[in-house]
Structure 1
Amino acid sequence: MALTAIIEAHGGPEQFKLVDRPVGDPGKGEIRIAQKAVGLNFIDVYQRTGLYPMQLPHAMGMEAAGIIEAVGEGVTHLKVGDRAAYAAQPPGAYAEARVMPAAQVCPLPDGISFEEGAAMMLKGLTVEYLFHRTTPLKRGDTVLFHAAAGGVGLIACQWARSEGVTLIGTAGTDEKCQLALDHGAAHCINYRDGDWAARVQELTDGKGVDAVMDAVGADTFEGSLNSLKPLGMMISFGNASGPVPLFNLGILGPKGSLKITRPTIFTHIGDHATCQEMAKHLSDKVLSGDVKINIGQRFALKDIAQAHEALEARQTTGSTVLEIR
């Protein structure tokens, strides 16, 4: 039996229930993992609220790290006793142990702790595809990254610095802006202090940025488009302030023949070999010291509702992990 956080109806954090569930043995292409730490992400909120609907009841959570307890037929990249971490479908990471598909479960090097592994996979693989698989970026390019002091943002700040990319961040307080700067952002704008899009234009001498990486959504969409240089790429990869409203595609032309995409991590990691390659790239960044995983908050699994409340209230910085005792 494994303590597991589930929801039986979409709604607020009060919907969480903690239940003991049988774990069972892995089938073909599956593994059983005893989890040591679990990551918290905004996609978890979207699923809980019903923005991304799920068939209920359902266990929650998308990333974790732990030790492989059993391996099903056909699994060759992992063995019993291996340290491993993942960001993967289906949800179910808020648990002491689980059986799940093996394809997106990745070896976790000894030099990376279970907490770091749980905190880095979904966020770090997101940054990997943003910088290397979404639009061509090269040394000397400039990107605008919203919510730069969050879990994804702090990894992105460091990643940009390591790649020679100038990152202009935004955040909601001066303290969060300083955190982004400390992690490698070239500039960080407190978006509560006036017209942040105009400030982006000032910082780029009126040229605009090569790409915008925006997980905020509704509140920042128009300003993001106004921050791009001609032929720039708008990457909308989240909805923390709500979904982007419907807009006239024709505005992209007069704004500079802009490009726009709405990627998801699960498309990028859907292929087993690509997922493992991305995870190795991420691990190499962490092991080299180019990227340090900032864990700003820790909660017990039983306090999952409190953890969600803090995340939604934007009271968190860096990554948040659930500790499994």
Structure 2
Amino acid sequence: MSETPLVEVKNLKKYFVASKSILKSKRTYVSAVNGVSLQIKKGETLGLVGESGCGKSTLGRTILRLTPSTSGEIYFDGQDINKLSNEQMRLMRQKMQMIFQDPYSCLNPRMNILELVRAPLDVFQVGTPAERLDKVKEMLEIVGMGEQHMMRYPHEFSGGQRQRVGIARALISNPEFVVCDEPVSALDVSVRASVLNLMNQLQERFGLTYLFISHDLSVVKHISDRVAVMYLGGIVEITSKDELYKNPLHPYTKALLSAIPLPDPEKKAAPKILEGDLPSPYNPPAGCRFHTRCEHCTARCKEEAPVLKDMGGGHQVACHLYD
């Protein structure tokens, strides 16, 4: 794994208009991503975890410019992609792909597997028709499918097989960076491990860099090199996976880890129950956005938003407890 960041995000923000008005001052906004800064090194897997609605998927889509950012900078291999024209961005998408959460809704039911997997090659006009066909056969073989599946349609496959088709389609253009948006959450538990192992094998084979989005910390531990914890649009902690599970610092991270079921029935888990509900992104609390649910809340937490600070060894946390 290289120390050079392939992807770097600086103060990235994404707001959605909640109520439209002719007067801009009268509009209300949903703060989906609020000032996120992070780096993803070449060849690594950065896990991104948090509760549903915290902005994980929006962050992934914004990094790929599938959703335009409100402000901030996005660098891919040193190039600011926010400054690229539509045509330049279209060509850049060969290097940046996405694996979606639902392996059925992301596949056109009217296209067979050959057409679905070949589509990126057609769009980017890679090779001759015969070369594209050979490439599809090769990629299907790599992901555990076969040539005999090419003329079949998505509804004829199981969820795990459809996700393998989605992975083949994402990788056939030979990308460097892949955003994996909860790629196993819609699958049966029995097939999750095989898909995760496949993704690990593909990463080693093709030198891929992953942003792996999930709400399941046990899955993230299996596949990630580093983990970023997201809460209500912002990153509250980021470190190596071993350090995160061994020495979590942020109160929110500790609560998430305490909720992981233990595989040993003799051991009784004592999950830390957070008080209150996740605040609305329509009207997020002032100061630290976690202060409404934090047992360590002080007056400062209610007024001043903490920033990520390095606690040593690349372990960063955004919490006033560590000032």
TM band (smaller chain) = under 0.3
By percentage of residues, which structure has more strand?
A: 1
| TM-score of the pair, normalised by structure 2 | 0.25
Q: Which has the larger radius of gyration?
A: 2
| TM-score of the pair, normalised by structure 1 | 0.25
By percentage of residues, which structure has more helix?
A: 2
